[in-house]
A = this chain, B = another copy of it.
Amino acid sequence: MVKRTSFEGDACPIARSLEALGDWWSLLIIREALFGVRRFGEFQSRLGTAKNILSARLRSLVEHGILETTPASDGSAYQEYVLTPKGRGAFPILVALRQWSEEFDDHPEEIATILVDRDKGRPVKRLEMRAEDGRLLSPADTTLKPRLAPRRSSAKAGPRS
């Protein structure tokens, strides 16, 4: 096979999410959708995507349960694309990407916008990892565990990633 490798059956959850939204456009489409964009033409003009690509991506996102097509909304007979809960659940991913850019980009002055909380207009706090009891965790403070107790029989290489 010379197909682009798929991570569908992969046991790693990171690979699994990349399977659904790991290409150039999907996350940007979700970003626009989170800001209320619903119509094909609006996605197209805001993102500047070719229409065939946009069409393919929207279809893929619908298949993955991230977007839903609703037959109407404002009276017209056209359809709209709206986020499902799964789609809205991707918000932290976008925030993480945004904050990474804000912190490490080589030309931060080119970044046009900041994410603020609507009430106070102040930047949102950096996402942080915490333990169940609230302790702040660094990457080194974490580790991976097999999801279910491993087979008692073998001490072979455990599941990874």
What is the chain B residue whose CB lies nearest that of A131?
B117
**Cβ-defined partner of A113 (8 Å) among B102, B115, B147:** B147
Quick one: which of A24, A100, A127 has the most chain B CB within 10 A? Answer: A100
Question: CA of A119 to CA of B130 in the docked complex: distance in angstroms?
Answer: 12
For A32, give its contact among B13, B119, B128, B161 (CB under 8 Å): B161
Chain A residues near B (Cβ < 8 Å): 4-5, 9, 11-18, 22-24, 27-28, 31-32, 34-35, 46, 48, 65, 85-86, 88-106, 110-125, 127-135, 137, 139-147, 159-161
Can you list 19 contacts pairing A with B, beta carbon distance less than 8 Å? A13-B102, A14-B28, A22-B22, A31-B161, A32-B161, A34-B139, A35-B161, A89-B103, A91-B129, A92-B129, A112-B147, A113-B160, A114-B145, A116-B142, A116-B144, A122-B132, A124-B130, A124-B142, A127-B129
